[in-house]
Amino acid sequence: MSEANSETIAEPATATLQFRDVTFFGSGETSLRMQNFSASIGSGELVEVSLDRNHDPRDLASAILGLEPLDSGTILFMGGDWLGKDYDRHFRMRSQIGRVFAGSAWVQNLTVRDNLVLSQVHHGVLETDVESEIGKWMQRLSGDQVDLVGRALSNRPSIVEPSLLQICQLIRAVSGRPRLLILERPLQFVFVARFKDFVSVIDELRSNGTAVLFFAGDRDDHSLSFAQPVTHWRIINNRLTSEGAN
């Protein structure tokens, strides 16, 4: 990663996401794994994990959301775990987490706009507020593609050009100012001209307390200049490690 810009974000005071002695193998040969992994991400902090092409972060991201069982250990979000059958609590926790998926992320028989709206209304947000959020973040993330993205919202995902659809994923993830953002190759398909817009939005959210786990792809993601603090976790033999993190 290149030298960070001059703005500095305050050192995190609370742990938004915690891994306590987590072992997780996932379901696929290329799934990212953890072996007795302990680490945390604080409010406003960004942790970057650089992926090779054969690394698949999807199972691990789902485990962080309590959607995949751990082999052992505990994952905490805002101090709460995913154990037991307290589904209302888990639902409220997930409503505070934004995610950009590395794989398929859409209900194909709905328009892109309906996908964005329903994902928020499902968590109790008023539709008028959702529309306001969509408009705001579309302006921030789309640059000179804003009209194209606006038209893409009216189409079903299967016929939307990939670079536009990925911007729509970003819009959905940041809407509602989540406490935690999980970004799985968020810039795949996105034009390089949009990278600065992406950094600006992410750093704004961080300045308001959003913690970010950024699984960076194999394009130019490594050249992004985020505000500090930025921590790097490494992958060794498909296992995530925070040893030697900086």
With CA atoms as reference, report the closest residue to 174 among 225, 217, 127, 120. Answer: 120
Residue 2 gets which letter from DSSP? P
Contact 231, 9 (CB under 8 A): no
Residue type, 162: P
The pair of three-digit structure tokens given for residue 207, joined into one six-digit string? 């300045």
In the structure, what pLDDT confidence band is assigned to residue 244 with cuts at 50, 70 and 90? low
Q: What angle do CA 188, 194, 198 make, to 5 degrees?
A: 80
Q: Looking at 15-24, 125-134, 145-154, which range is the least confident one?
A: 125-134
Contact 174, 181 (CB under 8 A): yes
The pair of three-digit structure tokens given for residue 70, joined into one six-digit string? 């751990």
- Residue 126 is predicted with a pLDDT of 85
The CA distance from 167 to 116, in Å, is: 12
The pair of three-digit structure tokens given for residue 152, joined into one six-digit string? 């893409």
- Residue 87 is predicted with a pLDDT of 92
For the domain spanning 15-241, the CATH number is 3.40.50.300
Residue written as tokens 């604080």? 42
Q: To the nearest whole percent, how much of the chain has pLDDT over 90?
A: 77
Give the containing element (helix H, strand E) for 98.
strand 97-100
Residue 31 gets which letter from DSSP? B
Residue 184 gets which letter from DSSP? E
pLDDT above 70 for 6: no
pLDDT above 50 for 28: yes
Residues 6 or more apart whose Cβ sits within 8 Å of residue 147: none
- Residue 195 is predicted with a pLDDT of 94
- Residue 10 is predicted with a pLDDT of 46
